[in-house]
Structure 1
Amino acid sequence: MQDKKIKTNKKKKYSQLNAIWMGIFADILGFSFMVSLLPEVNNSFNTTSFQATLLLSSNAMFGIIFGPIWGKLSDKYGRKPTLIICQTGTLLSFLIFAIGQNYKILLLSRILDGIFGGNFLIANAIIGDVVDKKDRIKFMGNISLIFALSNILGPGISALLISLGQGMLFPGLFGMILSGLSIISSIFFLPETLKKCESKIPTLELNNESNSNKLTYTRVEKNNFPKFKLIQWAFYTLALTLVYSSISLYAYENFHLSAESLGILLMTAGIFQILFRMTLFMPIIRKLGEKKSALVGLIISCVIYFSLTLINQKWQLICIILFQGVAAALVRSVLSSQISKSVESYEQGKIQGFKSALDSLGQLFGPLFGGLLITFAPNSFFGLCSGLIALCALGFGMFPYLQKKKSKENYQRKINSEICIKE
């Protein structure tokens, strides 16, 4: 009876999050639209692959600067007002995108979206405010679901709307409608979640799977854990964005896939990722734990990216696109949860701001690097470079746990020396 009451209270408490999902989807959809529209931009505006990917990178360039600012503002003035301002900026960027009849106007719309690109990080901060630490992995996984849903609907919707003619008008109007709905939802249904409190040193357990393995960490070790996780996030995001943002151009250049064929493939990959999230995701997390699940996802990512150096058949490319979504769902959900749990509520905006800046850093250099590799480098370099970057993420993922092992050995050595002194 008591467990049922606790579940009911949690359900009521977490219902506050219903207002943010639409805004997250609208924010991600802008990036999804642009990835699937890159070949169309090339054809319509006679741009190079480098110029096309610059539409993605310009957005990220300003996100690096303004992401941490929005995060700190949300810590100071509250999540709700800051989120509404960012959502309004997204709506204006879609408006400019809709009237973009030349390359420069499209570039301006992406820059404006980068300046007001705080939607996603503030939504993550709200999750950190509301959701208990033990339940956070589930809700971070829900964000992966929204990413997958965007991958399914974004390419298909953009291809359909582009086919109606009028350039970028209809994709932009669709984004405006979603942004408007998210603003209305935030105004009327989102309560303020930020709770002001005194600064405290956050409690951190690097292994929450067994009480017998819990250790008391020093202040330095606690502070280092989110730093290493942020570095790991940066490397993995760079590898993932490099591949995801340029895979359409890679498929077009090497396998002659049309925008329509690629759209169908990306939609299928999104469906595959959603099925994984709804069936195997939580059982894997419960079976392996967060740490091992992230490592499995990173290993799969490394294998997939290095495989890009060897493939020469369309079916091989299809397998890579399908399974990279599964790996990304594991890695990004777990890392997001661990980063969020490493600080308290009053610092959620700050940590999510840095995380968002690293996302933007990946979105800045990923498309640029991918465009340069596809345009000027041998085909094998695309997979080789992304694989090496993912390998760096795997290495940084191991470091805090090696540090923990060293701390455990030092702790045991201290206990043994105390026993010897007593004897």
Structure 2
Amino acid sequence: MFVLFLVVFIDLVGFGIVIPLLPFFGEHFQASPDVVTLLLATYSITQLISAPILGRLSDRYGRRPVLLLSLLGSIVSYVWLGFAESLMMLFIARAFNGFMAGNIATAFAYITDITTPENRAKGMGVIGAAFGLGFIMGPAIGGILAGSDPANANFQLPALCAAVLSAIAFVIALVKLKESLSDEIREKIAALGPRNHWKSFFETLTRPRLGLLVMLSFGCIFVFAGMETTFAMWTRREFNWGPEQNGYLFAFLGVISAVIQGGLIGRLSKKFGEGKLVVFGTLCLGLGLGLIPFCETTVMLAGATMILAIGFALSTPSLNSLISLEAAETERGAVMGATRSAVTLARVLGPISAGVLFAQMGRDMPYFAGMGIMLVITVIAFAKLGSSRAPKAVEATE
């Protein structure tokens, strides 16, 4: 598990490096706020297409080859991004990066292979901690390399640094990462015969409890992605911040996420159950979003985003744990890939919706709308999951 943690961590540092950079990169090419959020959503659009395909491929050929392929794709895309000389090149580079981004869904499937139902939430928390730590270092590094002046940011250096980090992750995975999918399970999957990737995706969503869990994940990611993609533009207008200041704040959020998902989520899930963590997490996520427009100082903004980060760090690994336990051992890669496609769709629609609200109704509206959505999600989670704990894992289907 440590090797997988290291690979995901290094890769997410590279991903995090470009987070505070992209909104300013888009505005550098005279893009409007709604076009900037569309740029950020492009990554998720192509990831939506590739995730269920790569998930099924990881079931058939193993997790390791898919992880290696996605890391190679990341290297190429970051180099492409660094040398982009037009808005169109920027869009194409992000689209290719998203299409090759199968490492996250595959990493989740890898965790389901090597953990038991009892410690599944803890395993998901380990990957969540890699996310959190990646976002501690990544945005801070990207912000420092790009600079604090939004009008004269260095866009090439952070992108090339991200490419180097993905190359390091690739080498570590190539040398150290072992295949987690046993020959026995792979034979069972092969015996089921070929399956249509998108049919598998829709079958996943039509299973009642699994569909509910995916819907809740969709809602959380929808509002968080809307915040994530408009936040730099909001702080530029409110505080005249550049990439460096935004990088530090995203790093602060990463610290909170890493502490909760890396050290607390396992114990909290055993004590309270994943269902209650989802309820509390979604409530905090909505509250944090609603407080952002009222922040007039950096301290106030740090407090609001801290509440938001706590909510996201509690709800997402808990939902991933519950989802994974609804999947049989022969379909885990497909289910996690389909789930990833659903939440990736949220990363498409969330930024686009937030960008339109930002451009047409003012910079505060995405956060008020996100708060309203999360209140609805919290009520649904309380009604359906409030007293639930993780179920026993689903048996393999014949």
TM-score bucket of the superposed structures, by smaller chain: 0.7 to 0.9
Asked if 1:181 corresponds to 2:168, the answer is yes
TM-score (ref. length: structure 2): 0.84
Q: 1:309 to 1:88 in 2, by over 3 A?
A: same
Report the Cα offset of residue 248 of structure 1: 1.6
Query: Counterparts of 1:226-305 in structure 2 under 5 Å?
Result: 226-277=210-261, 280-305=264-289
Q: Give distance in 2, aligned partners of 1:379 and 1:335.
A: 30
TM-score (ref. length: structure 1): 0.79
Q: 1:114 to 1:123 in 2, by over 3 A?
A: same
* Per-residue deviation, residues 124-174 of structure 1 (Å, max 9, x unmatched): 101001111111111211222222222221222112222499943322222
Q: 1:278 to 1:94 in 2, by over 3 A?
A: closer
Q: 1:82 to 1:144 in 2, by over 3 A?
A: closer
Query: Counterparts of 1:24-423 in structure 2 under 5 Å?
Result: 24-29=8-13, 31-42=15-26, 44-163=28-147, 167-195=154-182, 196-197=184-185, 198=188, 223-277=207-261, 280-398=264-382, 400-401=384-385
What code does the residue aligned with 1:293 have? Answer: L
The answer on whether the counterparts of 2:147 and 2:244 sit within 8 Å (CA) in structure 1 is: no
The answer on whether the counterparts of 1:237 and 1:362 sit within 8 Å (CA) in structure 2 is: yes
The answer on whether the counterparts of 1:309 and 1:382 sit within 8 Å (CA) in structure 2 is: no
The answer on whether the counterparts of 1:38 and 1:53 sit within 8 Å (CA) in structure 2 is: no
Q: Give distance in 1, aligned partners of 2:19 and 2:153.
A: 19
Report the Cα offset of residue 268 of structure 1: 2.4
Q: Give distance in 2, aligned partners of 1:73 and 1:395.
A: 37
What code does the residue aligned with 2:174 have? Answer: I
Q: Which secondary structure state, in structure 2, belongs to the residue aligned with residue 346 of structure 1?
A: coil
Flag structure 1 segments of 5+ consecutive residues without an equivalent. 1-16, 200-219, 405-423
What code does the residue aligned with 2:176 have? Answer: F
Equivalent residue number for residue 214 of structure 1:
none
> Which range is displaced more, 157-166 or 239-248?
157-166
Q: 1:301 to 1:188 in 2, by over 3 A?
A: same
Equivalent residue number for residue 209 of structure 1:
none
Equivalent residue number for residue 192 of structure 2:
none
The answer on whether the counterparts of 1:294 and 1:335 sit within 8 Å (CA) in structure 2 is: yes
> Which range is displaced more, 150-159 or 33-42?
33-42
* Per-residue deviation, residues 88-107 of structure 1 (Å, max 9, x unmatched): 11111112122223322222
Report the Cα offset of residue 379 of structure 1: 4.3
Q: Percent identity?
A: 22
Report the Cα offset of residue 33 of structure 1: 3.0
Q: Give distance in 2, aligned partners of 1:34 and 1:186.
A: 22
What code does the residue aligned with 2:167 have? Answer: G
Q: Give distance in 2, aligned partners of 1:166 and 1:261.
A: 12
What's the RMSD between the two structures over aligned residues? 2.7
Flag structure 2 segments of 5+ consecutive residues without an equivalent. 190-203, 389-398
Report the Cα offset of residue 306 of structure 1: 2.6
* Per-residue deviation, residues 192-250 of structure 1 (Å, max 9, x unmatched): 22234448xxxxxxxxxxxxxxxxxxxx9x94221211111111110111112221212
What code does the residue aligned with 1:108 have? Answer: I
The answer on whether the counterparts of 1:101 and 1:168 sit within 8 Å (CA) in structure 2 is: no
The answer on whether the counterparts of 2:43 and 2:98 sit within 8 Å (CA) in structure 1 is: yes
Report the Cα offset of residue 109 of structure 1: 1.3
Equivalent residue number for residue 212 of structure 1:
none
Q: Give distance in 1, aligned partners of 2:94 and 2:284.
A: 32
What code does the residue aligned with 1:177 have? Answer: V
The answer on whether the counterparts of 1:27 and 1:120 sit within 8 Å (CA) in structure 2 is: no
Point out the structure with max Rg over C-alpha.
Answer: 1
* Per-residue deviation, residues 13-53 of structure 1 (Å, max 9, x unmatched): xxxx2332243235434553333013431453232222222
